[in-house]
Amino acid sequence: MTPALTMGIYAVGLIGSKLIALGLQPLVAQWLGTEQFGRLDVLVTLSCLLTLLMTFGISDAIYRFAHDQPKQDSLIGNALALLVVIAGLLTLAGQLAVPWLQQTLPGEPPTFAIRCLLITLFLNTLCCVPFAILRLKNKAKQFVTAQLAFAITQGGGIVLLAPSHGVNGIIAAGLIAQAIQILILWRYFPRLQLGSTLLLLRYGRAITFAGVLSFVVLGAERWAIAHSLGLDLLAPYAVAIQWAIAASLLLEPFGLWWYPKRFALIDTAENRKQAATISVIGCQLSCLVTAGIITIGSRFLLWWLPEDFHPSAGLLPLLGVMVMVKHATTLLNIGCYHRKDGHSIMAIGIVSAITAAGILLFVLPQYGLYAFIGAGIGLQLLRLGLFYFWSQYYLKLPYPLSRLAVSYSLIILLLIAHYHASVIYELSCILLLITQVSWPWVTRKLSILRPKPLDSSLRSG
For the ranges 117-121, 264-268, 283-287, the lowest mean pLDDT is seen at 264-268
DSSP class of residue 117 equals H
Residues 21 and 169 sit within 8 Å (Cβ to Cβ)? no
Handedness of CA 192, 196, 202, 206 (dihedral sign): negative
Q: Same domain for 183 and 223?
A: no
pLDDT on residue 377: 94
Residues 297 and 282 sit within 8 Å (Cβ to Cβ)? no
Q: Same domain for 82 and 163?
A: yes
pLDDT (average), residues 296-309? 87
Residue 286 pLDDT grade (very low, low, confident, very high; cuts 50, 70, 90): very high
Residue ending a domain, choose from 188, 208, 228 = 208
pLDDT on residue 442: 65
Higher-confidence position of 6 and 296: 296
Q: Same domain for 146 and 121?
A: yes
Residues 238 and 311 sit within 8 Å (Cβ to Cβ)? no
Residue ending a domain, choose from 180, 208, 236 = 208
CA angle at 274 for the pair 271 and 277, rounded to the nearest 5°:
155
pLDDT on residue 328: 92
Higher-confidence position of 268 and 311: 311
In a domain? residue 146: yes
Segment 44-79, tens digit of pLDDT: 999 999 999 998 888 888 877 766 666 677 778 888
Q: Same domain for 54 and 164?
A: yes
Instruction: Please state the three-class secondary structure of 323-391 as a single string.
Output: HHHHHHHHHCCHHHHHCCCCHHHHHHHHHHHHHHHHHHHHHHHHHHHHHHHHHHHHHHHHHHHHHHHHH
Half-sphere exposure of 26 (CA within 13 A, CB side): 11
Q: Same domain for 43 and 136?
A: yes
Out of 13-17, 130-134, 285-289, 391-395, the most confident range is 285-289
In a domain? residue 213: no
pTM across the whole model: 0.75
Segment 438-460, tens digit of pLDDT: 887 766 555 544 444 444 443 43
Q: Same domain for 105 and 228?
A: no
Q: Same domain for 246 and 186?
A: no
How far apart are the C-alpha atoms of 226 and 243, rounded to whole Å? Answer: 19
Using a CB cutoff of 8 Å and minimum separation of 24, what contacts does 443-452 make? 446/277, 446/281, 448/274, 448/277, 448/278, 448/281, 449/274, 450/2, 450/3, 451/3, 451/261, 451/262, 451/264, 451/265, 451/274, 452/264, 452/265
Task: Tell me the backbone φ, ψ of residue 459, rounded to 5 degrees.
Answer: -80, -15
Higher-confidence position of 384 and 72: 384
Residue 429 pLDDT grade (very low, low, confident, very high; cuts 50, 70, 90): very high
The phi-psi region of residue 36 (left if phi > 0; otherwise alpha if psi is between -120 and 50; otherwise beta) is alpha
Q: Same domain for 77 and 156?
A: yes
How far apart are the C-alpha atoms of 107 and 348, rounded to whole Å? Answer: 32
For the ranges 94-98, 168-172, 265-269, 381-385, the lowest mean pLDDT is seen at 265-269
pLDDT on residue 445: 54
Segment 325-375, tens digit of pLDDT: 999 998 988 877 776 666 777 788 889 899 999 999 999 999 989 999 999
pLDDT (average), residues 382-394? 91
DSSP class of residue 57 equals T
DSSP class of residue 105 equals S
Q: Which domain holds residue 37?
A: 1-208
Give buried/exposed letters for 45-71 (b at 16+ CB in 10 A, else e): bbbbbbbbbbbbbbbbbbbbbbbebee
pLDDT (average), residues 144-150? 89
Q: Same domain for 142 and 286?
A: no
Q: Same domain for 299 and 422?
A: yes
Segment 160-218, tens digit of pLDDT: 999 999 999 999 999 999 999 999 999 888 888 776 677 788 778 877 887 888 888 88
pLDDT on residue 119: 96
Longest dimension (CA), the chain: 62
Using a CB cutoff of 8 Å and minimum separation of 24, what contacts does 433-436 make? 433/287, 433/288, 433/291, 433/407, 434/288, 436/403, 436/406, 436/407, 436/410
DSSP class of residue 264 equals G
pLDDT on residue 33: 87
Nearest one of 432, 440, 437, 434 to 413, comparing CA atoms: 432
Q: Same domain for 256 and 185?
A: no
Q: Same domain for 182 and 230?
A: no
Q: How many domains does the chain have?
A: 2
pLDDT (average), residues 411-428? 89
